[in-house]
Amino acid sequence: MRASSRFLLFLAAAALGFAGAARHAAAERERRAAEVEARTALVRRLGLTDLALFTEARYTRHPSQADRFTPFQEHPSSLEHFPSGSIAAPPRD
Amino acid sequence: MRTWLERQRYVVDFTLSSLARRKGKNLALLAVYALVVFSLASVLFFAHALRHESRAVLRDAPELLVQRVVAGRHDLLPQAWVATVAGIRGVSGARGRLWGYYFDPPSRANYTVMVPERFWGAKGQLVIGAGVARARGAAPGDQFPLKAADGTYLTLVVREVIPAESELVSADLLLVGEEDFRTLFDVAPGTFTDVAVSVRNAKEVQTVAGKVTRLLPSARPITRSEIVRTYDSILDWRSGLVVVVLAGALLAFVIVAWDKASGLSAEEKREIGILKAIGWETSDVLLMKVWEGAVVSLAAFAVGVLGAYAHVFLGDVALLAPVLRGWSTLYPAFRLVPSVDPYQVATLFFLTVVPYTVATVVPCWRAATIDPDSVMRT
């Protein structure tokens, strides 16, 4: 087989991969709609305000409810000391 | 048209056999290139899906929350505040909420203790999140001792575990009745953590928030749109240090790619010289180099992006999880609902494929315009 044919086959496989990913995403969204609705219903029922992503400190557990000057809140000019601060920036107004 | 296509195929054939002559070097470049695209795409996909999820879930968060701030810190507020807020025109309901944090020494985890508006359990019972159940090995019917503010133990009974599908918002929750909450934390009757406010007309939320600060100067109102904006900004991939680290990797790759692509080796120069001597036009040589750049970058882009999709949406973000977990011992187990922004994929494409292809062509154009005789002699 010619090298260009092999490359074309690779591109076709990649295009199929992208189409498959798009199809998978659409199917998952449809299949899990009830799950998202259950989460939303729980938020509504309990009046939740934040995601339970980072539970190590109160200002990482509830960033939307934390003091305005997080992450420097432990004492004046203290530096952010939790690793989650490396992917989550302090809230902005 | 057919001739044009056939010509392109011959050039691609030649390009691929030329790349195969330096197999080791080109495969290593392809692997690093694909890894850079994979890392960037993983962070982009993860942050976007989480932002999408947070918007979907938090659209039903309380419209307005009122906190009391004392000496710059969030403090408990009196019952009178609830009445004051409820009396503001436009407010359809105000309820004092009770919630706080409990550090659990056995599991070394922080729990969020909360009193729901209508707690469905009896006094002495609690409902726990799936993360808490995992951390403490607790199941419905088990006893759940908690150390109260006075040093004694308050032993509650687990009524139920919140279904795991809601773990993203409930992993660390302990839901208890009002009386148990006040006993546990020694919170005086008639005091609350904050006030959740419902506003009749959504357009009036900002006006109501303004009235709250006028009536209660030490209050801090937090609107639902601020909560959503907080998540938008903390999950903004451009603001995370992960991207700073990745940007370092990306820059290192750009330097390697630039060096590889722009500094033509003597062998490559000789190849160009021979091609020109046997009759290739400058445009043919450039076409070959465009294909060389395109083949490498398209392959790396496809492998990197598809790998990132599988990593984030099929493999539970295994490689980013340690960063996400941070120092918390209690972490929600969740699988994100796939949501990919085509704009981000297009940006990634133009940031990776186009610069590499251009970087391959420019130096070659210089070599291809020199006299073949002098190129071969050097």
B280-339 tens-digit pLDDT:
888 888 888 888 888 989 999 999 999 999 999 998 888 877 776 666 778 888 888 898
Q: Check residue A3 and give its pLDDT.
A: 87
The pLDDT-based confidence of B242 (bands split at 50, 70, 90) is low
When mean pLDDT is compared across B85-94, B125-134, B213-222, B225-234, the lowest value belongs to: B225-234
A69 reaches B (C-beta below 8 A): yes
pLDDT digits (tens, 9 = 90+) for B346-366: 988 888 888 788 777 777 777
Which residue from A minimizes the CA distance to B43? A87
A78 CA to chain B: closest CA distance, Å? Answer: 16
Q: Contacts of residue A57 in chain B, CB cutoff 8 Å?
A: 110
Q: How many CB pairs under 8 A join A and B?
A: 208
What ipTM goes with this model?
0.79
**When comparing pLDDT for B158 and B9, which is higher?**
B158
Predicted confidence (pLDDT) at residue B212 exceeds the cutoff of 90: yes
Which residue from B minimizes the CA distance to A4? B13
Predicted confidence (pLDDT) at residue B265 exceeds the cutoff of 80: no
User: Which residue, A20, A34, A60, is CA-closest to B310?
Assistant: A20
Q: Check residue B43 and give its pLDDT.
A: 84
Which residue in A10, A22, A67 is closest to B299 by CB distance?
A: A10
B139-152: average pLDDT:
93
Q: Contacts of residue A51 in chain B, CB cutoff 8 Å?
A: 50, 53-54, 57-58, 168-169, 231
Cis peptide before A71 (omega within 30 of 0): yes
Which residue from A minimizes the CA distance to B131? A52
Q: Contacts of residue B12 in chain A, CB cutoff 8 Å?
A: 3-4, 7
Q: Contacts of residue A62 in chain B, CB cutoff 8 Å?
A: 112
A29 contacts B242? CB cut-off 8 A:
no
3-state secondary structure B116-176: CCCCCCCCCEEEECHHHHHHHCCCCCCEEEEECCCCCEEEEEEEEECCHHHHHHHCCEEEE
Backbone angles phi, psi at B103, to 5 degrees: -90, 125
The pLDDT-based confidence of A26 (bands split at 50, 70, 90) is very high
**Chain B interface, best mutation among A37, A73, A86, A87, by max B CB count within 10 A:** A87
A82 reaches B (C-beta below 8 A): yes
B105-127: average pLDDT:
91
**When comparing pLDDT for B260 and B368, which is higher?**
B368
A6-35: average pLDDT:
93
User: Which residue, A12, A9, A2, A11, is CA-closest to B17?
Assistant: A2
The pLDDT-based confidence of A9 (bands split at 50, 70, 90) is very high
A79 CA to chain B: closest CA distance, Å? Answer: 14
User: Which residue, A79, A85, A76, is CA-closest to A56?
Assistant: A85
User: Which residue, B31, B39, B95, is CA-closest to B63?
Assistant: B95
Q: Check residue B218 and give its pLDDT.
A: 93
Question: In the predicted model, what is the mean pLDDT of chain B?
Answer: 87
Q: Check residue B235 and give its pLDDT.
A: 74
Q: Check residue A76 and give its pLDDT.
A: 45
Predicted confidence (pLDDT) at residue A89 exceeds the cutoff of 80: no
A27 reaches B (C-beta below 8 A): no
**When comparing pLDDT for B273 and B88, which is higher?**
B88
Q: Check residue B18 and give its pLDDT.
A: 86
A44 contacts B117? CB cut-off 8 A:
no
B57 contacts A51? CB cut-off 8 A:
yes
Q: Contacts of residue A88 in chain B, CB cutoff 8 Å?
A: 234-235, 240
A73 in Cβ contact with A59 (< 8 Å): yes
Q: Check residue A78 and give its pLDDT.
A: 47
Question: In the predicted model, what is the mean pLDDT of chain A?
Answer: 79
User: Which residue, B129, B144, B376, B356, is CA-closest to B262?
Assistant: B356
B219-247: average pLDDT:
76
Per DSSP, A50 falls in state S
A21 contacts B309? CB cut-off 8 A:
yes
Q: Contacts of residue B104 in chain A, CB cutoff 8 Å?
A: none
Predicted confidence (pLDDT) at residue B239 exceeds the cutoff of 80: no
The pLDDT-based confidence of B262 (bands split at 50, 70, 90) is low
B366 CA to chain A: closest CA distance, Å? Answer: 27
Predicted confidence (pLDDT) at residue B95 exceeds the cutoff of 90: yes
Q: Check residue A17 and give its pLDDT.
A: 95
A52 contacts B233? CB cut-off 8 A:
no
A56 contacts B328? CB cut-off 8 A:
yes
B65 pairs with which residues across the strands? B196, B222
| pTM of the predicted structure, to 2 decimals | 0.83
A23 reaches B (C-beta below 8 A): no
Q: Contacts of residue B340 in chain A, CB cutoff 8 Å?
A: 21-22, 25
A17-44: average pLDDT:
92
The pLDDT-based confidence of B126 (bands split at 50, 70, 90) is very high
Predicted confidence (pLDDT) at residue A92 exceeds the cutoff of 70: no
